[in-house]
């Protein structure tokens, strides 16, 4: 039965019915719709619209309906316009006319907005917990590979040696920001729209604050028009998902490169790789490629809803039914990707030997040599020039910096003495870094300790 049949004589066109229906996807709000309806029933009781018996009947039946739904006993019939119509009609089947009182002072506009905020709040909690376990996995790796040294890159060219722990902690910082962003969002969106009616509020004396308490909302909306047409909470959440995906995509890209024969820095566990139907030797990092690939689709979800919302006049417009699929998709995708990435990261095999060997080629200690000269009083710009000349010489001779004799070095500057070899040693290069946040063992240890403490509190 339609919720709005009264003023219509003509039947709805079947294609229109199908076009208009959202039940195929908003069925995912079943739990939230039941909960929201229970909250509404309490508010109606308090306003004197439902009697004590009626309230009990409504709540018992809604709970029963939810249980049946959980056990798969409810047939989701595509002829329902949406989940709200379905729940109302299931309730009517059980308790008759009282079911129809439940919509007093409520519109599907404030109802769906409330369902969606409840859904988003629930999912943010799940994603946050997942991010914490991803952060723990990253921290474990940082600890496990504390002593491994590898080239750090800029422009994907070997730049300076870094600790592998420092690399992992870089991603720790990114995912920590993502976590904080979800937390901020949760704080901001915890506002109940119910009681806003279709757009103008309700004639009935609904105690909205009481209802918010029943439904576990921190606050209630202050403007009914905004409340029914606000989807910022979906957009913010999708944006947070998109940004998290971007970070996951970057580490995925890096690990894909690292497991090539060209790099040979890591091995991806077989459990997260797949083979080729034609080339028997192949072991492909599909898990990471998919994380990278799915990032595009979450960006699409964000653009899709931003675009849907951009031209909408106040207040509710049916366009807003298009909020659901992108929101659900972004949430599903980010959750799946976090789980997969966590598993891939926890099971990689690191080839520390190769990482270290890669630091030997490509003059990664050139900056250290320039710093050495600058420490001896040569202005850095000049030191930079001198080492540039040394590098050119090395390239001609096919030598590394530490393979030059002191006599050879003195040709470029008489400041060079024996201690230069200490300064340009790869391990020393790392530990000579003094600034907070740098890659020296001491500073990385410091950062890890701070973040381990933070993890304990979160
Ligand atoms: N299925 C609708 C949606 O998701 C529910 C709200 C419908 N409101 C209305 N006035 N037709 O937006």
Pairing outcome for strands 219-220 and 191-192: parallel
Ligand 1, atom 2, residue with closest C-alpha? 321
pLDDT tens-digit map of 53-104: 999 999 999 999 999 999 999 999 888 999 999 999 999 999 999 999 999 9
| Residue 1 pLDDT > 70 | no
pLDDT tens-digit map of 353-394: 999 999 999 999 999 999 999 999 999 999 999 999 999 999
| Residue 7 pLDDT > 80 | yes
Domains of the chain, with CATH numbers? 5-101 (1.10.275.10), 108-357 (1.20.200.10), 362-457 (1.10.40.30)
d(CA 339, CA 139): 16
What's the rounded mean pLDDT across residues 294-314? 98
Task: Answer whether 13's CB lies under 8 Å from 100's CB.
Answer: no
Whether pTM exceeds 0.80: yes
Give the confidence band of 456 by pLDDT, cuts at 50, 70, 90.
very high
∠ CA 297-299-304, nearest 5°, is 90
Residue 216: other Cβ atoms inside 10 A: 12
| Residue 9, pLDDT score | 85
C-beta 320 within 6 A of ligand 1: yes
Cα separations in angstroms, 1 against 26, 87, 135, 175, 336: 18, 12, 50, 48, 38
321 C-alpha vs ligand 1 centroid, how far in Å? 6
Scan for tokens 């004197």, then name that residue.
48
Query: Can you give 146-196 as a three-state secondary structure string?
Result: CCCEEEEEECCEEEEEEEHHHHHHHHHHHHHHHHHHHHHHHHHHCEECCCC
pLDDT tens-digit map of 157-184: 999 999 999 999 999 999 999 999 999 9
Lowest mean pLDDT among 8-17, 51-60, 300-309: 8-17
Helix (H, G, I), strand (E, B) or coil at 122: helix
- 276 catalytic? Reply is yes
The conformation of residue 395, written as its DSSP 8-state character, comes to H
Which of 103, 112, 199, 312 to mutate to test ligand 1, by most ligand atoms within 8 A of the CB atom?
112
Helix (H, G, I), strand (E, B) or coil at 357: helix
The ligand 1 atom nearest the CA atom of 4: 11
pLDDT tens-digit map of 11-45: 889 999 999 999 999 999 999 999 999 999 999 99
The ligand 1 atom nearest the CA atom of 198: 10
| Residue 282, pLDDT score | 86
Which phi and psi (to 5°) does residue 284 adopt?
A: -105, 145
d(CA 181, CA 131): 11
| Residue 12, pLDDT score | 86
Which of 318, 319, 320 to mutate to test ligand 1, by most ligand atoms within 8 A of the CB atom?
318
Scan for tokens 């969002």, then name that residue.
185
What percentage of the chain has pLDDT greater than the value 70?
100
- 104: enclosing H helix or E strand: none
The CA-based dihedral angle spanning residues 249, 252, 254, 259, taken in that order and rounded to the nearest 10 degrees: -160
d(CA 272, CA 285): 7
d(CA 94, CA 96): 6
Ligand 1, atom 7, residue with closest C-alpha? 108
Helix (H, G, I), strand (E, B) or coil at 267: strand
- 166 catalytic? Reply is no
Cα separations in angstroms, 109 against 23, 81, 119, 442: 15, 14, 16, 57
Q: Which of 79, 103, 133, 155 is catalytic?
A: 155
Ligand 1, atom 12, residue with closest C-alpha? 321
Distance of CA 276 to the CA centre of its chain: 30
Pairing outcome for strands 191-192 and 266-267: unpaired
Cα separations in angstroms, 383 against 192, 369, 423: 64, 8, 14
C-beta 41 within 6 A of ligand 1: no
Q: Which of 276, 417, 438, 440 is catalytic?
A: 276
109 C-alpha vs ligand 1 centroid, how far in Å? 6
240 C-alpha vs ligand 1 centroid, how far in Å? 25
Cα separations in angstroms, 136 against 140, 267, 440, 444, 453: 6, 20, 22, 16, 12
Q: How far apart are the first and last CA of the chain?
A: 48
Scan for tokens 């002191």, then name that residue.
406
Scan for tokens 């201690």, then name that residue.
419
Q: Using CB atoms within 10 A of its CB, is residue 453 exposed (0-12), middle (13-18) or buried (19+)?
A: exposed
124 compared with 146, residue with greater pLDDT: 124
| Residue 193 pLDDT > 70 | yes
pLDDT tens-digit map of 132-145: 999 999 999 999 99
ipTM of the complex: 0.96
The conformation of residue 81, written as its DSSP 8-state character, comes to S
């Amino acid at each position: 039965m339609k919720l709005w049949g009264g003023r219509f004589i003509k039947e709805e066109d079947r294609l229109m019915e199908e076009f208009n229906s959202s039940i195929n996807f908003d069925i995912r709000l079943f739990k939230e719709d039941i909960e929201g309806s229970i909250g509404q029933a309490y508010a109606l009781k308090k306003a004197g619209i439902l009697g004590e018996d009626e309230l009990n009947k409504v709540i018992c039946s809604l709970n029963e309906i939810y249980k049946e739904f959980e056990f798969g006993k409810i047939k989701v019939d595509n002829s329902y316009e949406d989940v709200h119509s379905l729940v109302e009609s299931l309730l009517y089947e059980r308790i008759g006319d009282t079911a129809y009182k439940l919509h007093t002072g409520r519109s599907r506009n404030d109802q769906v907005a409330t369902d969606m905020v409840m859904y988003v709040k629930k999912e943010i909690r799940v994603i946050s917990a997942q991010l914490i376990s991803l952060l723990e996995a990253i921290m474990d790796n940082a600890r496990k590979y504390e002593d491994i040294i590898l080239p750090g890159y800029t422009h994907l060219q070997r730049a300076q040696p870094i600790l592998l722990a420092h690399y992992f902690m870089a991603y720790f910082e990114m995912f920590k920001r993502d976590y904080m962003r979800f937390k901020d969002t949760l704080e901001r969106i915890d506002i109940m729209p119910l009681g806003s009616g279709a757009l103008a509020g309700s004639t009935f004396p609904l105690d909205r604050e009481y209802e918010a308490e029943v439904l576990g909302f921190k606050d209630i909306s202050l403007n009914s028009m905004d409340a029914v047409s606000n989807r910022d909470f979906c957009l913010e959440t999708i944006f947070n998902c998109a940004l998290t995906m971007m970070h996951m995509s970057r580490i995925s890209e890096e690990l894909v490169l690292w497991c090539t024969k060209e790099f040979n820095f890591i091995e991806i566990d077989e459990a997260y790789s797949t083979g080729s139907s034609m080339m028997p030797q192949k072991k492909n990092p599909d898990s990471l490629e998919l994380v990278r690939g799915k990032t595009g689709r979450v960006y699409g979800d964000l653009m899709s809803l931003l675009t849907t919302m951009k031209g909408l006049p106040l207040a509710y417009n049916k366009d807003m039914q298009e909020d659901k699929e992108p929101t659900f998709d972004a949430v599903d995708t980010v959750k799946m990707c976090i789980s997969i990435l966590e598993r891939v990261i926890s099971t990689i095999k690191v080839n520390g030997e190769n990482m270290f060997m890669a630091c030997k080629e490509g003059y990664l200690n050139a900056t250290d040599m320039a710093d050495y000269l600058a420490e001896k009083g040569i202005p850095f710009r000049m030191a930079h020039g001198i080492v540039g000349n040394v590098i050119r010489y090395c390239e001609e001779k096919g030598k590394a910096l530490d393979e030059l004799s002191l006599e050879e070095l003195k040709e470029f500057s008489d400041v060079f003495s024996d201690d230069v070899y200490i300064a340009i040693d790869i391990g020393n290069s790392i530990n000579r870094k003094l600034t907070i946040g740098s890659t020296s063992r001491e500073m990385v240890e410091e950062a890890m300790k701070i973040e381990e403490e933070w993890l304990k509190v979160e």
